Chain A
Amino acid sequence: MVNIGFWSYQPRLSPLHCIDSRVKLLLLTLHNYALLQLHGAGLCVVAVGILLLFWVSHIGWTALLSSFKMGVYLALFVLLLQVFSVPRDPSDVLWQVSFFWLSYSQLTYIFRLFLLLLSGQWLISTSTLAQISQAVDSFLQYIPLLRRVPLGWLLRLSWGFFPNLYHNALQIQAAQKSRLLVPQNNFRRYLRYFSQAFMTKAIKKTYYITLAMQSRSFIGKPQPSNAPLQFCDMVAVLVFVVWHIAARYSPQMLAVLLLQKQ
C-alpha cells in the first residue's frame, strides 16, 4: 500500500511532542514572520536550529524528504513563473540568460522557502491534528467575529479528508486496472469513468463523514483548550527567544568575531 502519510503526525516520545500546541502554533507564527526578515548568516542559524528540532523530536531524516521534494517542486514552479514573466529587474542580465544561475536574492528566497516548509512540517509531525485544531480554536476565541466558527475543526476535517480522497483515487485506479481499463487504451474513456467514480466517492465521503461525526457525538462547536501551561512550555519559549535573537544578530556577531581575528 502507498504511504501517503506525507506531512503527517509522527507519534514519538520526545519532550518536543509534549509542548502545548498553542505554544507551538504561536511560536511558529512568530518564527515564520522572523524568517522573512532574515538573510545569510541568520538563515543559517535558523536552519541549524530546525535540524536540531527534528533531531530532538526523533522524527527521522527520511520524513524530511517529503518537505524537500515539495520544496523543489515549489522552487521550480516559482522559478518557471519568473522565467516566463517579464523580468522585474532588466539589469539583472544573469537571470535572463539561464535560470540555473541564481542571484543571491533568489537563493535567499529559495532557502527561506525550504525553511518555512520544514518549520511547518515540524509542527505537524509533533502535534496531532486534534491538538493543532484545538490550538487554533483557542486563539480564535479571543476574536469576537470568529469565536463561534469551528475553524480548527474544519481544518482537521479537511486535513483528514484529502489524504482519504487521494487514497480513494488510487483505489479507483486499481479497480479500473483490474477490469482492464488503462489510460493508454482509451484516455477519454478512462478519464470519464475515473472522474465519474471519483466525484461519486467524494460526495459520498462528505456525506458519510458528517454522519460518522454526528454518530459519535460531534456537535460542531469549537473546542478551545484552557489548560494551564507547563514548565516545559516556558522552557520552549525561552529557547525560542534565545534562538531567534542569535539568528537576528548573527551577522553582527559574525562581524565582531572576524574583526577580533584580524
Chain B
Amino acid sequence: MFVSKPIVVVEQLTYQIGSHASPLLDGISFRLEEASFTVLCGANGCGKSLLLRHLNGLLRPTSGNIYLHGRNIWDDIWDTRQQVGLVFQDPEWQLIGETVREDIGFGLENMGVSMDMRNEKISLIAQQLQIMHLLDRYQYQLSGGEKHLVALAGVLVMGAKVVVLDEPFNALDFHATQNLLLRLLELQEQQQTTILLVTHDLEKVLAHTNHLIVMSKGQIALQGTPEQILPQVAQFGIKVPTLNARKMNDLSWLT
C-alpha cells in the first residue's frame, strides 16, 4: 500500500463555550489524506457543524491544533480560508450577494480575481451545477434547494484544495445530488481536491469514500474504512445501508 501524505491534521481539538460547561468538542483527532473523500456522520447535535467551522478558521479551538500542509492554520488564516472552502449547513446564512451571480463571484472578488475571469468561472460552475438560469435572480427569490446549489457554487468556484460540505444533500433532489456528486468526484480526480462531507445518507456516497468518521457527543467514536466500521455504526444512531442486497461499490446515487 502506498503512503499518501495528510493534507489536514487535527490534533486533540477541544472546544468549549464558557468555563463550567462540558466541552462541545472533546479531544478530536483525525487526518485527511490528500485527494481523499471522507464522510463524517453522527447524530444530530453531536458537533459536526462546530468541527467543520474550525477547519476553515471560523472558530478558534479552546485547545488543540489544526494543521494544513503541516502548518498551523492560524499562522496564515487568509491563506487557510482560500485553501479550505466551507459550505454551510444552512444556505440561508451563507448567501451574501444580492443576485446569484454576485454571490457566486463574492469569494473570487475577495481573492482579487479580475472581472472577466470571474464571469468565466461563474459561467462554468453554473453550467456544471446546472443553475445557469438562476444567475440573474435575486437570492431571496430562490427555493431552498436552489439556494443550496448557489451556496455550493459560491464555494466550489473558489477552487479550494480542501472542500468541506455540511450536509450538502439535504435539500437536493435526485438529479442535483447526482450533479453534485459527479462534480466532487471530478474535482477529486482532476485537481486532487480533498473532500470532507457530512451526511446522514450513507447510501448516497459510501461507494466513493475510503474514510468514514463517526462522531458521538462531541467525540470521535469510530473511524476507518467503511468495510471496517460499517458493522458498528448502528449503535451511534446511523442508518446502516442494507448491505446484503448490494455490494459496497453500489452504495451511491450515481449507480
Contact = CB atoms under 8 A, between A and B. Distances in A.
A1 B141 contact: yes
B138 interface: yes
A11 B136 contact: yes
A117 interface: no
Interface stretch (B101-109, B186-194, B202-210, B228-236): B101-109
Contact of B93 (A3, A4, A128, A211): A211
B158 interface: yes
A167 B147 CA distance: 15
Nearest to A214: B58
Contact of A205 (B56, B93, B136, B141): B93
A209 B96 contact: yes
Contacts of B78: 217, 219
A215 B86 contact: yes
Q: Which of A129, A213, A216 has the most CB of B within 10 A?
A: A216
A216 B155 contact: yes
A5 interface: yes
A195 to B, nearest CB: 20
A164 interface: yes
Contact of A212 (B57, B96, B105): B96
Contacts of B107: 216-217
Given A8-B138, A163-B140, A219-B78, A213 B96 contact: yes
Interface residues of A, number: 29
Main SS at interface, chain A? helix
Contacts of A212: 88, 93-96
B110 A164 contact: no
Chain B contact patch, size range = 20 to 34
A218 interface: yes
Given A160-B96, A216-B107, A217-B111, A128 B81 contact: no
A160 B110 contact: no
B102 A128 contact: yes
Given A211-B58, A223-B109, A217 B158 contact: yes
B82 interface: yes
B81 A214 contact: yes
A159 B98 contact: yes
Interface string A119-130: 000000000111
Contact of B99 (A128, A204, A216): A128
A18 to B, nearest CB: 11
B97 A160 contact: yes
Contacts of A214: 57-58, 81
A208 interface: yes
B99 A215 contact: no
B160 to A, nearest CB: 10
B101 A208 contact: no
Interface in B28-60: 53, 56-58
Interface string B67-94: 0000000000010011001101000011
A130 B109 contact: yes
A217 B81 contact: yes
A4 B109 CA distance: 26
Contacts of B218: none
B154 interface: yes
Interface in A224-259: none
A170 to B, nearest CB: 10
A230 to B, nearest CB: 13
A9 interface: yes
Given A11-B136, A208-B93, A209-B96, A130 B102 contact: yes
Nearest to B136: A11
B101 A11 contact: yes
A24 B95 CA distance: 27
Contacts of B109: 130, 223
B99 A11 contact: yes
Contacts of A130: 97, 102, 105, 109
Contacts of B82: 217
A212 B109 CA distance: 14
Contacts of A159: 98
A174 B191 CA distance: 45
A5 B138 contact: yes
29 contacts: A5-B141, A8-B98, A9-B99, A11-B99, A11-B101, A129-B102, A130-B97, A130-B102, A160-B96, A160-B97, A160-B98, A204-B93, A208-B94, A209-B96, A211-B53, A211-B88, A212-B88, A213-B96, A214-B57, A215-B58, A215-B81, A215-B85, A216-B96, A216-B107, A216-B110, A217-B78, A217-B81, A217-B107, A217-B111
Interface of A: 1, 3-5, 8-9, 11, 128-130, 159-160, 163-164, 167, 204-205, 208-209, 211-219, 223
